[in-house]
Amino acid sequence: MTVVNATSLQQALEALRDHPGARLVQGGTDLMVEVNFNRTTLHDVVALRRVNELKRWHIVEDSQTIHLGAGVPYAEMERSPLCHHLPALAQAARTVGSPQIRAAGSLGGNLGTCSPAGDGLPVLSALDATVHLQSLDASRDLSIHEFMLGVKKNARQPNEVIVAVTLPILDGFQGYAKVGTRNAMVISAASACVVHDAIGGTVRVALGAVAPTVVRTREAEAWLASQTNLTAPLTVSPELAREFGRRAAAECSPIDDHRSTAAYRRHAIAVLVERLLLRANDHGKSPQ
- Residue numbers of the site for another protein (CB under 8 A)? 33, 36-38, 91, 94-95, 175-187, 189, 191, 257-261, 263-264, 267-268, 271-272, 275, 279
269 touches 210 (CB < 8 A)? yes
Give φ, ψ of 133 to 5 degrees. -115, 145
Question: Cβ 100 to another protein, closest distance in Å?
Answer: 13
Q: Given the complex with another protein, which of 19 and 279 has the nearer CB atom? A: 279
What number of CA atoms fall less than 13 Å from residue 115's CA on the CB side? Answer: 17
Please give the Cα distance from 196 to 8 (Å, whole number). Answer: 37
Q: Given the complex with another protein, which of 62 and 184 has the nearer CB atom? A: 184
C-alpha distances in Å from residue 101, one per residue of 96, 98, 109, 261 = 7, 5, 12, 27
Q: Given the complex with another protein, which of 199 and 263 has the nearer CB atom? A: 263
Q: Given the complex with another protein, which of 171 and 257 has the nearer CB atom? A: 257
Question: Cβ 36 to another protein, closest distance in Å?
Answer: 7
Q: Is the peptide bond before 81 cis (omega within 30 degrees of 0)?
A: yes
105 touches 67 (CB < 8 A)? no
Question: Cβ 278 to another protein, closest distance in Å?
Answer: 9
Question: Cβ 258 to another protein, closest distance in Å?
Answer: 4
Residues counted in the chain: 288
Question: Cβ 115 to another protein, closest distance in Å?
Answer: 12
Please give the Cα distance from 36 to 13 (Å, whole number). Answer: 26
Q: Given the complex with another protein, which of 24 and 179 has the nearer CB atom? A: 179
Please give the Cα distance from 253 to 215 (Å, whole number). Answer: 9
47 touches 6 (CB < 8 A)? yes
Q: Given the complex with another protein, which of 38 and 235 has the nearer CB atom? A: 38
